Amino acid sequence: MDITCILDAQAGLGESPVWSAAEQALYWVDIIAPSLHRLDPATGTRHSWPMPSAIGCAALADDGGLLVALREGVHHFNPRTAHLRFIADPEGPTPGNRYNDGKVAPGGRFFLGTMDEATLSRPTGALYRIDADGRATRVLEGLIVSNGLAWSADGRTMFHSDSKAQKLMRYDYAPATGAISNPRLIATPGEADGRPDGGATDQAGLYWSAGISAGVLNAYTAEGARVQHIKLPCAAPTMPCFGGPDMKTLFITSARHHVAPARLETTPLSGGIFALRLQAPGVPIPAFPMANLHTTESAQ
């Protein structure tokens, strides 16, 4: 399988790739830089915006902006003006925690999780849902590292992982209400298999998971059977995202932070953005609707 490094980004902790079909461009974040980035794969044109604090994830908004999860909470970001507007801080100050993986769900709600950044061992993380009016609800708790959000093509199944607990879960999802139910543990990938980091789904029903601990990309059926195990030219892949004109290109972010020097010698492109072509197109990710959202000026 042909895997290409489309950008040697040298990211400390590249994460949260999101494809803009309108712009035919890829956004992603470097959590620890901290910064938001945009790449036009066709031309190689890149833009970067520094952020005032660690940025756990980004998601498209339907007004041409993005939602960004900073330490201080979720903000709307205008890439034309670099202006931030505060939306919500569903968790509030929690020592040792930060926001991590997030994605817009079918129906337009923004789900995002938190993690124990301090020790990577305490179950102090949670998963939150932000509705179109800005109201926030906690939907899961007791997580170490909330990760792996993705939805099936019909919008009725939500996938979610806890990276450090090595659990890949599946839930029933109701697009009309944003409610999740019927939790099922479908896989327990260990260190050698590739602990489950970020995820993405295709229209053939597969869930693609970045195996951060093993430098691999895994594909699972909805029942948890692993049907693909692809070695990547990076030490720590973090999250896949479907994009391209036909939605058959899988983009993958990666990290260099905390990778041992000896490992970096054999994977010098770690921290880069990678791409590979797949047969089935990915499930498009909706943009967050801004019309009914009440926002305030950010303190930043």
Which residues lie closer than 8 Å to 93 by C-beta, 6 or more apart?
none
For the chain, give every domain's residue range: 3-297
Per-residue model confidence (pLDDT) at position 1: 81
3-class SS letters over 249-289 = EEEEEEECCCCCHHHHHHCCCCCCEEEEECCCCECCCCCEC
Read off the tokens for 207: 């869930």
Tens of pLDDT along 203-212? 999 999 999 9
63 residue type, one letter: D
**Measured on CA atoms in the order 208, 213, 216, 220, is the torsion positive or negative?**
negative
CA distance 115 to 117: 6
Tens of pLDDT along 57-112? 999 999 999 999 999 999 999 999 999 999 999 999 999 999 999 999 999 999 99
pLDDT band at 293 (very low <50, low <70, confident <90, very high): confident
pLDDT band at 23 (very low <50, low <70, confident <90, very high): very high
Lowest mean pLDDT among 164-173, 256-265, 290-299: 290-299
CATH 3.20.20.210 is held by the domain 3-297: no
pTM of the predicted structure, to 2 decimals: 0.96
Instruction: Output DSSP code: residue 188.
Output: -
Active site residues: 197
Tens of pLDDT along 136-173? 999 999 999 999 999 999 999 999 999 999 999 999 99
Residue 285 C-alpha from the chain's centroid:
11
Does residue 297 surpass a pLDDT of 60?
Answer: no
Read off the tokens for 245: 């004109």
pLDDT band at 295 (very low <50, low <70, confident <90, very high): low
Read off the tokens for 213: 């601990």
Helices (H), ranges, the chain: 261-266
Per-residue model confidence (pLDDT) at position 46: 98
pLDDT (mean) for 265-278: 98
